[in-house]
Structure 1
Amino acid sequence: MGDKSTRRAFIGSFTSTGGRGVIAADVDGETGALTETGVSDAVADPSYLALATVAGDQVLYAVSETSEGAVGAFDIRGRAPRPIGARVPVCGASPTHLAVHGGHLLTANYGSGSVTVLPIGPAGEPAAASGVLQHEGDGPDPDRQRGPHAHQVLPDPSGRWVLAVDLGTDSVHISALDTGTGELTRHGETPLRSGTGPRHLAFHPAGTHAYVLNELVPTLTVCRWDAGAGVLEPVGEVPVLPDGTEGPAYPSEVVVAPDGRRLWAANRGHDSIAVLSLDGSGERAELITTVPCGGRWPRDLTLDPSGRRLYAANERSGDVTWFDLDPETGVPRRAGSLDAPAASCVVFL
């Protein structure tokens, strides 16, 4: 029997290309269907979202992926998101990702190649930036890697470290957050294969491995993760498209199954979802198949809280498409979609 309760989801979108901002939706627990309940355009280009519990209430945060760069907070107790306070600058350009860690917001600023820390206030409002960690370096691609481009930032499963994936420097930067001062301290940097353009990573549920999805080549880099030492070690690289695939492809997002047996990656251009198997240790990944993403230009993939469904935010076709996952093979089967112009991400409450 499926879960008949109703969950909530929130969709980010690019207002500069026709999106309506942050969309709230109900999620049918039985079918996974999304039904829009309200929208807010209070933040320009809210391309990535994150949730946190503050004083017993859930608060939604959004980056504003603009040249000025900002974050905004939303009260989500009503049917439509309602802004909390004013947008706060991130002291960086074009933030593409954010995470909540240790009572702070962390943003990855693609344009400026930096990571910003902003304390969270008592009502959930973001405060002025308490620290900015600037990345340095470049890569061989003259169009995309002339300087650092931090694309994702997230805490590791142990909570001891902050990892920032930098497309411009072909590396993952590792730092530690001082929750008292709100500052990041550099700890290390793991170089990946030159020119791969790492974009996002996801951890194995055991916390012993991480999987870095590359944007400039359609591959996944498998890494060991030592949480005690804060060391990331690449151990292999596997394709996320079948041999002989023609045409450009720009992988965007990677998610790992709660049981650690499967991994999914979105491929823009090829407009597909790759299904990879993981061995028992989490150290060996293998491409099984790809399936259509249900639209065009899948910018984000998200598992629902049950781990039984996968949602693709298809930016250029303007929809969020959901898939039922085969419990044995992990292969997605399209089950429905919701119109969402310029959709960029989905998060679940």
Structure 2
Amino acid sequence: MSPHRSERPLRSDSGSGFGRRSFVGSLGAGVLGAAVLGSGAAAAQAAPAPFPGRRGAAELRPAFLGTYGSGIITCTYDTATGALTKKSTFAAVTDPSFLALAPSGKVLYALDNARREGAVRAFAIGAGGRLTALGQAQSTGGANVTHLSVHPSGRYVLSANYGAGSVAANVVNSDGSVGARTSVVQHVGSGPDPSRQEGPHAHQILTDPKGAFVFAVDLGTDKVYTYRLDNGVLRPVSEVKSVPGAGPRHMVFHPTAPYAYVANELDSTITVCPYNPATGVLTRGASQPTLPDGTNPGTRNYPSEVVVSPDGRFVYLSNRGHESIARFAVADGGATLRLLDTIKCGGSWPRHISLSPRGNLLFSGNQYGNTVGTFTVDTATGALAASGAPFNTVSLGCVLPI
């Protein structure tokens, strides 16, 4: 399957698109993605797994690259500068464009789109970050799986099927391998954009910071759905509607305040959503552009991943089209965002951004540019600064530093 035949829009000034397959992203880590505290990529921020190699004051840690067509690439990164070095590749997995880490830090989970119906797989992380397959790929119950996350309990892998517009849960076996699917929920509906919202397109699945509720972000139906995970079964709780045609793609929770931030792919905005952690109910709040006033990138802009700093003071969002990373200040106890600036992503089409566990580095996985942009983070101001030249690689879905 070609890495460029995905759910992403066609590259044209008109911004016309087509629905098929994607992501991220996350932790985009998860993102987010990449990913951050309380996000679907929260597993990416679990306690780092043991990994040898110190160099002066800087430690070398593993980072995994989820790719289109090139398997899972293991790298090391310098925890001071973010400099990446390729170590190995696990090629026997198809389009593992999103990755997530088990809470134990010892098992990596990946998408596998080798078949018409999507699947998820598990890999033991060994010395030097070398991967060993655990068990077999297990079906997610729908076409074109695009995002996954690990429930904070470590007992379930959650997945979003973009093509099918459904979300699923699979049990995790005692050895960390993926077991049988325990639940699949089909979304229903559409949105006003006929080329991208002709039907449901689940783009992300994540858990709130306390692990109480599961959330599915659906670009096609303009909704974020809340579920309760009951012994592996996803049970609907509530849903919140976005601005019509906004196309919600990914969201992230503030680590401590009762708010979530939703990146909207189709109208180039970000929305603040107040959150009731007792009921799981999200409420749609104010939306604002992801680019500075008066910005004309020369093409339609499509936000992708959104992450929040570990201290909750800054939110970062990747802009595809403008080819940038936006920095927002979090204000009013999490209730508002203020756009501070944008910085070029170090490539083209920043599908995924992720923060290192310490929050002092940000990585941009640039799908078209075949690069990873690496940035240091000023933890006092949140400002990003490019750290060396972009790392040349292959078409990327996500970057997962651990």
Contact 2:257 2:334 in 1 (8 A): no
Indicate the residue corresponding to 1:9 in structure 2. Answer: 63
Aligned equivalent of 2:35: none
2:223 corresponds to: 171
Deviations 1:106-147 (A, max 9, x none): 001100011111001111111121110111111000011011
Tell me the secondary structure at the aligned position of residue 69 of structure 1.
Answer: strand
| Whole-angstrom CA distance in 2 between matches of 1:28 and 1:324 | 11
CA contact (8 A) 2:111 2:148 kept: yes
Select between 208-217 and 272-281 the one with higher mean Cα deviation.
272-281
Contact 1:3 1:29 in 2 (8 A): no
Answering whether residue 337 of structure 2 is matched by residue 289 of structure 1, we say: no
CA distance in 2, matches of 1:201, 1:223: 10
| 8 Å contact kept, 1:43–1:87 | no
> Which residue of 272, 275, 278 corresponds with 2:324?
272
Counterpart position of 2:73: 23
Code of the aligned partner of 1:60: L
Tell me what 1:319 maps to: 371
Aligned position for 1:217: 267
The answer for the alignment partner of 1:309 in structure 2 is 361
In 2, the alpha carbon distance for the partners of 1:233 and 1:319 equals: 37
CA distance in 1, matches of 2:240, 2:138: 31
Over residues 136-195 of structure 1, what are the superposed CA-to-partner deviations in whole Å (9 max), with x where a residue is unaligned?
11100001101111000001012110000000010100000013xx11101011111000
1:248-280 deviation per Cα after TM superposition (whole angstroms, max 9, x unaligned): 111100011112211110001110001111114
Does residue 345 of the first structure (1) align with residue 395 of the second (2)?
no
- Contact 2:257 2:333 survives alignment (8 Å): no
1:234 corresponds in structure 2 to 284
1:281 alignment partner, SS class: helix
From 119, 124, 139, the equivalent of 1:70 is 119
2:97 to 29, 47, 51: 47
The alpha carbon displacement at 1:5 in A equals 2.1
Instruction: Give RMSD over aligned pairs.
Output: 1.4
Query: What is the alpha-carbon distance in structure 2 between the residues aligned to residue 82 and residue 38 of structure 1?
Result: 12
SS at match of 1:137: coil
Equivalent residue number for residue 89 of structure 1: 139
Partner of 1:146: 198
CA distance in structure 1 between the aligned counterparts of 2:136 and 2:398, rounded to whole angstroms: 22
From the two aligned structures, give the one with the greater strand fraction.
1
Q: What is the alpha-carbon distance in structure 1 between the residues aligned to residue 168 and residue 286 of structure 2?
A: 30
TM-score by length of 1: 0.94
Q: Identify the range of structure 1 (112-121 vs 22-31) with the bigger mean alpha-carbon deviation.
A: 22-31
Q: Report the Cα distance in structure 2 between the residues aligned to 1:187 and 1:334, rounded to whole angstroms.
A: 42
Task: Assess if the C-alpha contact under 8 Å between 1:261 and 1:280 holds in 2.
Answer: no
Q: Give the Cα–Cα distance (whole angstroms) in 2 for the partners of residues 272 and 3 of structure 1.
A: 30
Do 1:238 and 1:286's aligned partners in 2 also have CA atoms closer than 8 Å? Answer: no
Shift, 1:87, TM fit: 1.3
> How many residues are matched?
340
Give the stretch that moved more between structures: 115-124 or 239-248.
239-248
Consecutive aligned runs of 4 or more in structure 1 exceeding 6 Å deviation: none
For the residue of structure 1 that corresponds to 2:164, the secondary structure is coil
**1:181-192 maps to which residues of 2 (within 5 A)?**
182-192=232-242
Pick 1 or 2: higher relative contact order, CA cutoff 8 A, min separation 6.
2
TM-score by structure 2 length?
Answer: 0.82
Counterpart position of 1:117: 169
1:299: which partner in 2? 351
Distance in 2 separating the partners of 1:3 and 1:140: 53
Unaligned runs of 5+ in 2: 1-55
